[in-house]
Amino acid sequence: MAVVEVQIIPIGTGTPSLSDYVADCVKVLKKQDNLKYQLTPMGTVIEGELDEILSVVREMHEVPFDNGSMRVVTTIRIDDRRDKKLTMNGKVEAVNNKVDKG
């Protein structure tokens, strides 16, 4: 199990708004059965088996090209831990618990 963040930026679109492009990428992700995901203000975080995640990220990277972009910059950040199960909620809770304790 890994947690992966992806940020997909189409270049040269002519508009400073990116939400149309991002939404179309997220629609591809939404169709997956085995992956959990969460939108953040700076990207999309996905939890699941690493190869499945990378496969859908590869599909998501194509979306802006299908929508007319000529250039896409995609950043993928993988957090892969093998001594214990890594989950999106577990990661945030571990930090929050320690922050709350002061």
Shortest distance, position 87 Cβ to a copy of itself, whole Å: 8
Residue ranges in contact with a copy of itself by CB under 8 A: 3, 5, 7, 9, 11-20, 22-23, 26-27, 30, 38-43, 45, 47, 51, 54, 58, 61, 65, 69-83, 87-89, 91-92, 94-96, 98-99, 102
Q: Residue with structure tokens 């990378």?
A: 54
* Residue 86: alpha-carbon gap to chain centroid: 15
- The CA distances from residue 41 to 29, 44, 76, 86, 97, in Å, are 17, 8, 15, 21, 22
Shortest distance, position 8 Cβ to a copy of itself, whole Å: 9
